[in-house]
Amino acid sequence: MDEKALRNLLQEIKGGKLSVDQGLEQLRHLPFEDLGFAKIDHHRSLRQGFAEVVFGRGKTADQIEAIVQRMLPQKHNILVTRSREEVFGRIRSLSPKARFHRESGTIVILQDDEIRGKGTILVVSAGTADIPVAQEAVVTAQAMGNRVETLYDVGVAGIHRLLDARERLLAARVVIVAAGMEGALPSVVGGLVSAPVVAVPTSVGYGASFGGVAALLGMLNSCASNVSVVNIDNGYGAGFVASLINRL
């Protein structure tokens, strides 16, 4: 989208020729910026309430750098998921605000720190080894303007650790639960709270955990009705869904 078109649009709104609703509607359908190997959609932030996220996996450092460069002027927060040290070096040259969360490989550029979520998102992990996935959810939810709290290592085999935190669980507006192995924690948490629970299975485990499949199946078959599920290790997706819910 070139600047001129945007300027015209906004002036029409200002001049009363276009209502705000009409303007918003037009912006929803404005074209995207085409880099050949990627099509950047600056207006997704309007459509979905967030800047374009760059999925780092499968993209070269050159590609990521080029995409982020086009995004920076929009002044939205920028999230590069599943990235690596080398890419971070490139991105930090573009913006000193870039931060690298090594555990989850997430790069964040916070250019907008307004809190938009109405309550607290609580991110719970079953074990210590699930923390990288949980952290991806934390980073995502923070970048989308939420207050986030964490509760780690409260797996179901030591249920008193979880019950001990019952008040924090009940206080959250949305709960994200990351768990590997048998993936049972979302069911127990789901039974304790009335908030929506977003469950994210992790690939933590061995043998018959099949890289997170056991946890995924456990969550899909949860006997708690308030649980919905995202892909294995998809901390980003859990953080995104929880953010949308928390804005309502």
Pick out residues in 28-47 that bind a second copy (CB under 8 A): 29, 31-32, 36-39, 41, 44, 47
Q: Given the complex with a second copy, which of 11 and 159 has the nearer CB atom?
A: 159
Among 59, 71, 80, 98, binds a second copy (CB under 8 A): 59
By the rule CB under 8 A, 160 interacts with a second copy = yes
Written as six digits, the tokens of 99 are 């931060």
By the rule CB under 8 A, 245 interacts with a second copy = yes
Looking up tokens 């899909």, which residue turns up? 220
By the rule CB under 8 A, 23 interacts with a second copy = no
By the rule CB under 8 A, 120 interacts with a second copy = no
By the rule CB under 8 A, 4 interacts with a second copy = no
Complete DSSP assignment for 135-172: HHHHHHHHHTT-EEEEE-S--GGGHHHHHTTHHHHHH-
CB 238 within 8 A of CB 176: yes
By the rule CB under 8 A, 72 interacts with a second copy = no
CB 197 within 8 A of CB 190: yes
Q: Given the complex with a second copy, which of 111 and 152 has the nearer CB atom?
A: 152
d(CA 151, CA 163): 12
By the rule CB under 8 A, 102 interacts with a second copy = no
Which value, to the nearest 10 degrees, does the dihedral of the CA atoms of residues 159, 161, 167, 172 take? -90
By the rule CB under 8 A, 2 interacts with a second copy = no
Q: Given the complex with a second copy, which of 16 and 36 has the nearer CB atom?
A: 36
Which span sits near a second copy by CB under 8 A: 3-11, 93-101, 108-116, 156-164?
156-164
Q: Are strands 106-109 and 98-101 parallel, antiparallel or unpaired?
A: antiparallel
- Helices marked H in 40-130: 44-48, 61-71, 85-94
Which span sits near a second copy by CB under 8 A: 1-9, 11-19, 92-100, 214-222?
214-222
By the rule CB under 8 A, 173 interacts with a second copy = yes
What residues from 75 to 94 belong to the interface with a second copy (CB under 8 A)?
82
By the rule CB under 8 A, 216 interacts with a second copy = yes
By the rule CB under 8 A, 145 interacts with a second copy = no
By the rule CB under 8 A, 5 interacts with a second copy = no
CB of 232 to a second copy, least distance (A): 3
Q: Is 242 exposed, middle or buried (0-12, 13-18, 19+ CB in 10 A)?
A: buried
N-terminal to C-terminal alpha carbon distance within the chain? 29
CB of 19 to a second copy, least distance (A): 15
Q: Is 114 exposed, middle or buried (0-12, 13-18, 19+ CB in 10 A)?
A: exposed
